[in-house]
Structure formats: C-alpha cells, structure tokens
Amino acid sequence: ETGVTQSPTHLIKTRGQQVTLRCSSQSGHNTVSWYQQALGQGPQFIFQYYREEENGRGNFPPRFSGLQFPNYSSELNVNALELDDSALYLCASSPGLAAPYEQYFGPGTRLTVT
Amino acid sequence: ELKVEQNPLFLSMQEGKNYTIYCNYSTTSDRLYWYRQDPGKSLESLFVLLSNGAVKQEGRLMASLDTKARLSTLHITAAVHDLSATYFCAVDPDNNDMRFGAGTRLTVKP
C-alpha cells in the first residue's frame, strides 16, 4: 500500500509568482485536505476535497485554490505569492467522511518565497 | 470561532519522569486527535479519540478525552529521549475543518 506522497519536496519562488503543489492520496482514499504550517506554528487548514468537490475551506484568500482529480490526487495552487506564504504545505488523505476519521499526512512541500 | 489551546508550549523533562500535556478547545466536539512531529518532518498520527471518556495508550503515551470539559490530556510515563518532538492536538467537529493547537515542544534530557 502506497502512502501519501507530495511533490516537489522543496520549492523557491519569487513574490508575485504562481505555484502548484501536488499530492497523491493513499490508495483507496477519496478525501484530501491541505494545510499550511508556518515555522514554529501548528498547521492551518486551507481546504478539503471530497470526491472532486470542495467540502470545506479555512480562512485563506481566494488566491489559494485547489483541484481533486478522478484518481483522487490533488493540487494546491497559490497565485500572486507573498512572503508570508513561505511555509511547509501538508496534504492529508482519508478514506472518506465517516469514522474513524483518521487522516494520513504526506511528507510536505517546503515553499520559500523571496 | 473554534480555538484549540495547548499547554505547556515548551516542556523540558528529565528521562524517567512523568508529565501531562493539556489540550482545551472552545466548541463541542466528540473527536480529538493527537499528532507527533519531528523537526523538519510531517505529522505522525498518535491517537484518535472519538467519544467522551475515551482513553488510548501506546507505549509510554496515554491520551484521554473529556468532551464535557472540552479537555484532552496526553500523559507521558517514564520519558525517554526518543519522545523528544512536538506534539499537536487537533479537533474537527464537522469533519471538514481541522483546527490544531500551537503544539507542545517536548525535550527529554538524560
């Protein structure tokens, strides 16, 4: 069974650019959530996708957008990058919206905006 | 707005000692999670607590949930150096908006 994978591992971008981060869910999982973790802080929920539809969104501006594909892999897109977007971006997959509700986290993408 | 508060935020322990990390949250939730994060790494799931009074144990860690008090505890027994990490609690009452605490950075010293 393959776990959650993310790409790329590290990324450096310039302020104002756009970035796409990718996540492959664990086999059999149809739900994916994305989180932003700034240095020294807890993860902040960005949004969740369930069967290709957005199922919940945290307090992030519209320049943070996402997609989930039929194979349940997912993308996080961030437009007009700001310095404060520098963080570790984590995706987590789960087998659905029912119990036991456990999420499995990927290794993360470290984004640096200069 | 849902808030999740952990204390302490920093904890330095001697090996062999016991200690408890506390997690308070501000809204009704019968579901609480504990995660471990090593420096530069992702989150590792430790416990999922799904009901009032739930207690789970794994090795030297034991977690409990009191939904009426909106409180969860993570108890460390006879700490060892390998437990040094940051521990997060999180709640997700609606199953689509997981909120994390700020984390407790644990250092276990010989």
**Going residue by residue through chain B (110 aa), what tens digit of pLDDT does each one get?**
889 999 999 999 999 999 999 999 998 887 899 999 999 899 999 999 988 889 999 999 999 999 999 999 999 999 999 999 999 999 987 777 889 999 999 999 98
The model's confidence at residue A99, banded by pLDDT at 50, 70 and 90, is low
When CB atoms are compared, the residue of A58, A99, A105 closest to B97 is A58
Pairing of strands A109-113, A10-13: parallel
CA gap A81, A63 in Å, rounded: 9
- Encode pLDDT of A51-88 as tens digits: 999 998 999 999 999 999 998 899 999 999 999 999 99
Which residues of chain A neighbour B92 with C-beta distances below 8 Å? 101
Report the run of H or E that residue B44 belongs to, with start and end: strand B43-49
Contact at 8 Å (CB) between B74 and B23? yes
For chain A, the straight-line distance linking the first and the last C-alpha, in angstroms and rounded, comes to 37
Structure confidence by residue, pLDDT tens digits, A30-42: 999 999 999 999 9
Residues of chain A whose beta carbon is less than 8 angstroms from a beta carbon of chain B are 33, 35, 41-45, 48, 50, 55-58, 90, 92, 97, 99-108
Rg (CA), chain B: 13
As a dihedral over the C-alpha atoms of residue A73, residue B101, residue A87, residue B41, rounded to 10 degrees, the angle is -70
pLDDT score, position A11: 96
Judged by DSSP in three states, B38 sits in coil
Cβ proximity of B99 and B10 under 8 Å: no
CA distance A50 to A93: 10
pLDDT at A1 over 70: no
pLDDT at B80: 96
Q: Which residues of B touch A57 (CB under 8 A)?
A: 97
Supply φ then ψ for residue A92, to 5 degrees.
Answer: -140, 135
Which of chain B's residues have a Cβ under 8 Å away from the Cβ of A104? 45
What DSSP line would sit under chain A, residue for residue?
----EEE-SEEEE-TT--EEEEEEPPTT--EEEEEEE-TTS--EEEEEEETTEEEEE-S--TTEEEEE-TTS-EEEEE-S--GGG-EEEEEEEES-SSTT---EE---EEEEE-
